[in-house]
Amino acid sequence: MAESPTPTDKLARRGLMFILSSPSGAGKTTISRMLLEAEDEIKLSVSVTTRPPRPGEIDGVHYYFVDDAEFDRMVEEDDFYEWAHVFGHRYGTPKGRIRNALKDGQDFLFDIDWQGTQQLYQKDQQDVVRVFILPPSIAELERRLRSRGTDAETVIEARMERARSEISHWDAYDYVVINEDAQACFAKVREILDAERMKRQRQTGLIPFVRELMS
């Protein structure tokens, strides 16, 4: 019997917008970096921000750095999936080429807070997967923040207050993962991504494939 001309692991599929959120210090940046290194089919969604670049950050790679006037223009022209105020600056997700790339099977990783997650989900529910990462305890979260050695005491206190607020929105996510160990947390997050890619409604190549099987 002749084999199908389309390998089953290469069926066309629609991409997804994979959101990782967590309070500062819970590990989403580490997990995001591990995911981007391990997965060729997902790329980081580059946000627009009004904050100045930090040492080593490159415009268009880490963020798109704009002034307040440009950000205002983009808001007025509905150029954002979502945007929010974070620690005195504004961050937004530009629609740009994301929608067209999703049709071609490109996945995007979003490192955004719960407010951004809600806005993104309201605009494009079918393509969004929401994952929230929790610390094993508040004490451990504070220890991680202090171990960075980069923030003043007032900043740490503000981050802890914000962390408690963000944690209260845990039930607005599709998945919740506790990050006690980075490798174990990463493995769970990757399993979620793999399973979401296999959902029937995202596998756009299934219809012609099944028709061929039935012909």
What is the overall mean pLDDT for the chain? Answer: 90
Q: What is the structure's pLDDT at 107? A: 97
Under a CB-based contact definition with an 8 Å cutoff, are residues 40 and 151 in contact? Answer: no
Q: pLDDT, tens digit, for every residue of 190-204?
A: 999 999 999 999 999
Cα(47)–Cα(90) distance, rounded to whole angstroms?
10
Q: Which helix (H) or strand (E) holds 36?
A: helix 28-38
Question: How many other C-beta atoms can be found within 10 angstroms of the C-beta atom of residue 153?
Answer: 8
Distance CA(100)–CA(81), nearest Å, equals 14
Instruction: Please check the confidence at residue 2 and state whether its pLDDT lies above 50.
Output: no
Rounded Cα–Cα distance for residues 94 and 101 (Å): 13
Q: Which of 87, 49, 54 is nearest to 71 (CA)?
A: 49
Distances (CA, A) of 79 to 16, 47, 69, 119: 19, 12, 14, 13
Q: Are 173 and 117 in contact (CB under 8 A)?
A: yes
pLDDT at 6 over 60: no
pLDDT(5) > 70: no
Check: CB of residue 114 under 8 Å from CB of residue 172. yes
200 half-sphere exposure, CB direction, 13 A CA radius: 2
Q: Structural domains in the chain?
A: 13-210 (3.40.50.300)
Over residues 135-160, the pLDDT tens digits come to 999 988 888 888 877 778 888 888 89
Phi/psi of residue 206, each to 5°? -70, -35
- β-bridge mates for residue 111, sequence order: 20
What would the pLDDT profile of 77-134 be if each residue is shown by its tens digit? 999 988 888 889 999 988 877 888 899 999 999 988 888 899 899 988 999 999 999 9
pLDDT at 113: 86
Chain-centroid distance of CA 167 in Å reads 17
Alpha helices in 55-205 (DSSP H): 68-76, 98-103, 114-123, 138-148, 153-167, 182-197
Q: Is the pTM of this model over 0.75?
A: yes
The alpha carbon of residue 141 and the mean position of all alpha carbons in its chain are separated, in whole angstroms, by 21
The percentage of the chain sitting over the pLDDT mark of 70, rounded to a whole number, equals 96
- Return the half-sphere exposure (C-beta side, CA atoms, 13 A cut-off) of residue 159: 20
**How, if at all, do strands 175-178 and 128-134 pair?**
parallel
